[in-house]
A and B are shown apart, each in its own frame.
Chain A
Amino acid sequence: MIKRSTRIMVTALAGLMTLGSLAACGAGGNEDSANTVYIANYYGGLGDEWLYKAIDGFKAANPDVTMNFKIDNSKTEYKNLPATMATARQDVYVVESVPYIELVSKDMIADVTDVVTEKLTKYGEEVSILDKLGEGQAKEYFNIEDKYYAMPTYLAQAGFIYDVDLFEENELYMKEGGGWTATENRTVGQDGEANTQDDGLPVTYDDFFALLKRMRDYSLIPLTWMGLDQSYSNTFLYNMVADYEGYDNMLVQSTLSGTLNIDGVDTPIDNSNGYLLQKVKGKEYALQFARELLSNNANYLGSVGDVTYTHRSAQLDFLASRTDEKRIAMLLDGDWWETEARSDFDDLVVENDETWAYGTRRFAMMPIPKANDGSSASGRTALNSGSSTMIFINANTTKMEVAKRFFQYLHTEEALRIFTQYTGVTRPYDYDLTPEQRAELTYFQQSRFDFYQDNDTKIYYSISLNDMMDQNNTYYKSMVWSSDVNGTSYSYPFTAFLLHKDMTAKQYFDGLYDYHYTRWSRFDAQGWW
C-alpha cells in the first residue's frame, strides 16, 4: 500500500512538472504580448539592423500606432512553418525557404490583397505594391485565384565576385585592340557602352578563360568557393543557363508549357515530356564552361573540394589573401556576401590598417560570360537565388490591422531604401535611392543595385508554376543538375568534374536526359497525362 505522504508528494511533483511545461508554452517574461507585434526574421547573411530601422520608420510615419514591436530570430526552422505557425506567437514573418502554396492552401497566412493593391498615397506614393513589383513571373507566382498572401523579400544572384583593386593593380582588364590594361582604353564589355562597370571584363567564355590564364601567369589564384556543399556552384551554373536561354525560355522550365528548340527542332513541352528540358543548349554550354574551369587545378584554391571549407572560410580567404604571395582574384558567392563577411573586414582592419575596411575595398560581380558563337540570348537574365524568401502575415494574428499596416510599410519607397541601405541587397521592386543613401553603399552594393534596376536585366525566379511539379517538389529540385553518368548519379557538376578529370561535359549533359527520362514514368503512374 502506498503511503499517503508518498502519494501527495508524487502528485505534487507531477502537478509541478505539468505546470512547468505549460508555463514554458507561454514563456514571455514580463512582455505585454497582447500589445506587441512579433516579427519572425531570418537573420541569415542580412541580419536585423534593417528591420529595427524599418520599425522606427513605421512608428514615425504612423504615430497613432502604440504597439510595441519585437523581433524574434529564434524560430529558424522555417521549413517547419506548416507545423509551427498555428501555435506560434509571431504575427509577421520575414523568412526564407517558404512553402508558399502549402501555407496558402492550409489558410495559415493572411490574405494581403487589399494592402498590395492599394495605392500607397498615405506615404506620398501614387503606386501600389503590385505596381512596384511589376509584371512577370513573381506576380504570377504570388497570385492565387486573384488573391495575394505574401510578397518577395530580396534579389540575389550567385556569381564571380572580383576584387576591383586587384584587377587594376594587375592589369586584368581587356584592352581595346588586344592586350591588357588597368584603367585606360578598356574594351566596352557586354553592354557595348563605354564608361560602364563592365568595361574591360570578359564578354565570352573564351575571354573569361583568357583572363584566367593571365591570372595564372601573374601567380594569382583565380577563384575560390565553398566546399561545404556545392549549392552555390549549382546555382551559379543554373544562372549561366538562365542567361544563355533568356527569360522566355526559362519560363518553360517553370511551367513545363511552351515550345523549345530541342536538338534543332521546335518541340512543344508539356507534362508528358518535361524530361526534354534537360536538352536545352544552355545546360550544355554551362557544363562546358564548368568542365574547362575545373580542368586546371591552378584555376582554383585547393580547399574547394573539402567539406570543412565553408562559405565563411572562402570569404575570409578571399579578403585576407591581399597580402599573400598568391592572391585570390575572385570568389563564387552571392549578393549577401559582403554584409555576411562584415566581421571579417573588421578583424582585418585590426590586424592591418583602415585600407582593409568594409566599404573601402572595391568589389563587383562579373557579368555572366556569353557563348563564343553568339548564340546566347540577348540582354541579361539573372536567376534569383532568393526566390523563396517572403514577407507575410500569420493568419492567426490578433493584431491583423497593425500587422497589415506594417506589411504595407515594408514595401514603401522609404522602407525599401532602408532595406538596401542596411543590407546592401536589392528588393525586387521598382525604387530608387537618395544620393546620400547611395553614398553609404559599398562599391559592390551600388553595382548590384544598378544591375537589378537596369531595364535590360530580367529576373527569373527558380520556382514552379506547374501543378505536377508542385506535387513533386523534391523531384523538381533534382531537375536542375541531377545526372546519370556511367551508372552513377551525380547532383553537382563541380564535384563530378573535380573528381573525374576525364568526365566530359557531353557525358554529364547526356546524363541529365538519361536521369530524367528513366524516372519520368513516376508522373505517368500518378496520372498526370
Chain B
Amino acid sequence: MTQKSKTRKMAQSRRAELIFYVTMIALPIMQFCIMYLGVNFNSVLLAFRKYDYQTGDYLWTGFTNFRTLFIDMKTSLRPAFLNSLKFYLCSLCMMPVSIIISNYLYKKKMGSGVFKVILFLPSIISGIVMTLTFQYFVEQVVPEVLGLVGVEIELGLLSNPDTAFSMLIVFSVWTGFGGGMLLYTGAMARIPIECVEAAQLDGITPLKELLYITLPLIYPTVSIFIITGIAGFFTNSGALYTFFGPRADASLWTYGYYFFTVTVNGAGAADYPYAAAGGLLFTLIAAPITLLVRWALEKYGPTTEY
C-alpha cells in the first residue's frame, strides 16, 4: 500500500469518526441549547413582559414585574425571606454535626455500621413513605403521647402554624442527613492512609486529627456545601409542597416554595412574567454572592492536594 493511499484511508477513517462524533454529540448540544440556553434566554425576556389576555401575546412592560415584586417582598414575602434564611442557617449549623458523625463512621467506631444504616435509611426509602411516616408521627403519635402525659394540644405539629416550620426543618435535616454524610464519608475515605498513620505515630488525638488532617483534606467538599447552600437560598422549598401542596399557610412560605406554587398553581401565562422577574432578580443577587464566597473560601481556606 502506498503512502498516499494510507493517508487517504486514515483521512477517511477520521472523517467517519468525526461524523460519528458529531452525530452523537448533536442531540445533547441541541437539547442544551433549546432546553437550557433558550429557556433561560426566554425567561430573561419574560421578566420584562406581561401577558395580554385579549391577544394572547406577551407585551413589553419594562420594570413593572420588578416593581410588583419589590412591593410583595416588603409585604407578602417578608416571612418567606426569614424562612429561607432560617433554612440556610440551619443547613450551616448542621454541617459540623454531619462532619463529626461522618468522621465517626469513617473511623469505624463502635456501632458505626448500625448508625450508618439508621442515618442513610431516609435517603434510601421512598420519599412518599418518609413523608407519610413523618406526617403521621408528628400529627398523631406525638399529640397522643403528649396527651398521655397530660399535655393536650389542639392541632397536630404540622397543622399548627406555630410549630409547622420547626417540623419542616426537622424533616429536612432528617432526610438530608444521609446525602451529606455520603459525600463527607466519601471524601474522608480518599484521605491517604499514610498521612493519618504518620500523625498517629506522632501521637495525635482524635480531635486534632479531625481538625488538622481530616477537615483540611475534605475542605473542597465542605466548601461545595457552603457554596451550593447560598445558591439554594432562593430555591429551597423546604418540603412545604410535599406536606401542604399549594395551600401552605403564608407564614410558612420560603422563596422557593412561593415561586414554585406561583408557576405550577398560579394563573398560568399571566403569572410567568412575574415568576421570571423573581428568578432573574434572585440570580442577580445570588450569583455575585456565590462567586464572592467561593473566592473567599478558595483564598482563605486551606489548600490541599493529594
A-chain residues with CB within 8 Å of residue B266 when the two chains form the complex: 473-474
Interface presence of A105 (CB below 8 A): yes
Cross-chain contact A229 with B244 (CB below 8 angstroms)? yes
Could you tell me the distance between the alpha carbons of A467 and B54 in the complex, rounded to whole angstroms? 10
Interface presence of A183 (CB below 8 A): no
- B64: min CB distance to chain A, Å: 5
Could you tell me the distance between the alpha carbons of A99 and B56 in the complex, rounded to whole angstroms? 13
Could you tell me the distance between the alpha carbons of A229 and B160 in the complex, rounded to whole angstroms? 12
Residue of A101, A474, A518, A526 with most chain B CB atoms under a 10 A cut-off: A474
Cross-chain contact A102 with B269 (CB below 8 angstroms)? yes
Could you tell me the distance between the alpha carbons of A122 and B51 in the complex, rounded to whole angstroms? 42
Q: Which of A86-94, A304-312, A374-382 participates in binding chain B?
A: A304-312
Cross-chain contact B243 with A307 (CB below 8 angstroms)? yes
Interface presence of B251 (CB below 8 A): yes
On whether A526 and B53 interact (CB within 8 A), knowing A11-B23, A473-B267, the answer reads no
Interface presence of B224 (CB below 8 A): no
On whether A305 and B155 interact (CB within 8 A), knowing A105-B55, A467-B53, A489-B251, the answer reads yes
B-chain residues with CB within 8 Å of residue A230 when the two chains form the complex: 247
Interface presence of A431 (CB below 8 A): no
- A158: min CB distance to chain B, Å: 15
Cross-chain contact A306 with B159 (CB below 8 angstroms)? yes
Which one of A10, A308, A482 contacts B136 once the chains associate, using CB atoms below 8 Å?
A: A308
On whether A231 and B247 interact (CB within 8 A), knowing A79-B268, A489-B76, the answer reads yes
B-contact bits for A514-527, CB 8 A (1 contact / 0 none):
00001101100111
Could you tell me the distance between the alpha carbons of A10 and B271 in the complex, rounded to whole angstroms? 44
Cross-chain contact B20 with A7 (CB below 8 angstroms)? yes
Could you tell me the distance between the alpha carbons of A519 and B70 in the complex, rounded to whole angstroms? 11
B-chain residues with CB within 8 Å of residue A7 when the two chains form the complex: 16, 20
Interface presence of A254 (CB below 8 A): no
Cross-chain contact A499 with B160 (CB below 8 angstroms)? yes
- A13: min CB distance to chain B, Å: 11
Could you tell me the distance between the alpha carbons of A521 and B270 in the complex, rounded to whole angstroms? 18
Interface presence of B200 (CB below 8 A): no
A-contact bits for B195-222, CB 8 A (1 contact / 0 none):
0000000000000000000000000000
A-chain residues with CB within 8 Å of residue B17 when the two chains form the complex: 1-2
Interface presence of A107 (CB below 8 A): yes
Closest B residue to A496 by CB, please name it.
B161
B-chain residues with CB within 8 Å of residue A499 when the two chains form the complex: 154-155, 160-162
Cross-chain contact B262 with A521 (CB below 8 angstroms)? no
Closest A residue to B258 by CB, please name it.
A474
Could you tell me the distance between the alpha carbons of A269 and B24 in the complex, rounded to whole angstroms? 63
Interface presence of B264 (CB below 8 A): yes
Interface presence of B135 (CB below 8 A): yes
A-chain residues with CB within 8 Å of residue B264 when the two chains form the complex: 79
Closest B residue to A464 by CB, please name it.
B267
On whether A229 and B245 interact (CB within 8 A), knowing A472-B270, A491-B250, the answer reads yes
Interface presence of A121 (CB below 8 A): no
Cross-chain contact B249 with A1 (CB below 8 angstroms)? no
Interface presence of A191 (CB below 8 A): no
Cross-chain contact A525 with B24 (CB below 8 angstroms)? no
B-chain residues with CB within 8 Å of residue A467 when the two chains form the complex: 53
B-chain residues with CB within 8 Å of residue A182 when the two chains form the complex: none
- B263: min CB distance to chain A, Å: 10
- A35: min CB distance to chain B, Å: 32
Cross-chain contact B135 with A308 (CB below 8 angstroms)? yes
Could you tell me the distance between the alpha carbons of A227 and B243 in the complex, rounded to whole angstroms? 12
A: contact size bracket: 35 or more
- A85: min CB distance to chain B, Å: 12
A-chain residues with CB within 8 Å of residue B170 when the two chains form the complex: none
Among residues 246 to 277 in chain B, which have CB atoms less than 8 Å away from a CB atom of chain A? Answer: 247, 249-251, 262, 264-271
B-chain residues with CB within 8 Å of residue A527 when the two chains form the complex: 64
Interface presence of A5 (CB below 8 A): no
A-chain residues with CB within 8 Å of residue B243 when the two chains form the complex: 307
Interface presence of B75 (CB below 8 A): yes
A-chain residues with CB within 8 Å of residue B262 when the two chains form the complex: 474
On whether A474 and B267 interact (CB within 8 A), knowing A489-B250, A489-B251, the answer reads yes
Cross-chain contact B139 with A306 (CB below 8 angstroms)? yes
Cross-chain contact B265 with A491 (CB below 8 angstroms)? no
Interface presence of A492 (CB below 8 A): yes
Interface presence of A14 (CB below 8 A): yes
Cross-chain contact A525 with B55 (CB below 8 angstroms)? no
A-chain residues with CB within 8 Å of residue B245 when the two chains form the complex: 229
B-chain residues with CB within 8 Å of residue A473 when the two chains form the complex: 266-267, 270-271
Interface presence of B49 (CB below 8 A): no
Interface presence of B72 (CB below 8 A): yes
Interface presence of B108 (CB below 8 A): no
Which one of A105, A231, A518 contacts B54 once the chains associate, using CB atoms below 8 Å?
A: A105
Interface presence of B232 (CB below 8 A): no
Closest B residue to A483 by CB, please name it.
B250
Among residues 465 to 490 in chain A, which have CB atoms less than 8 Å away from a CB atom of chain B? Answer: 467, 470-474, 476, 482, 488-490
Cross-chain contact A471 with B51 (CB below 8 angstroms)? yes
A-chain residues with CB within 8 Å of residue B72 when the two chains form the complex: 519, 522
- A511: min CB distance to chain B, Å: 12
Interface presence of B68 (CB below 8 A): yes
Could you tell me the distance between the alpha carbons of A474 and B17 in the complex, rounded to whole angstroms? 54
Could you tell me the distance between the alpha carbons of A106 and B79 in the complex, rounded to whole angstroms? 36
Interface presence of B158 (CB below 8 A): yes
Could you tell me the distance between the alpha carbons of A10 and B16 in the complex, rounded to whole angstroms? 14
Could you tell me the distance between the alpha carbons of A229 and B68 in the complex, rounded to whole angstroms? 29
A-chain residues with CB within 8 Å of residue B249 when the two chains form the complex: 489-492, 495
**Which 8 A-B residue pairings sit nearest by Cβ, starting from the closest?**
A473-B267, A105-B56, A305-B155, A489-B250, A525-B67, A474-B266, A522-B71, A229-B247
Q: Which residues of A contact B (CB under 8 A)?
A: 1-2, 7, 10-11, 14, 79, 82, 99, 101-102, 105-107, 227, 229-231, 297, 305-308, 467, 470-474, 476, 482, 488-492, 495, 498-499, 501, 518-519, 521-522, 525-527
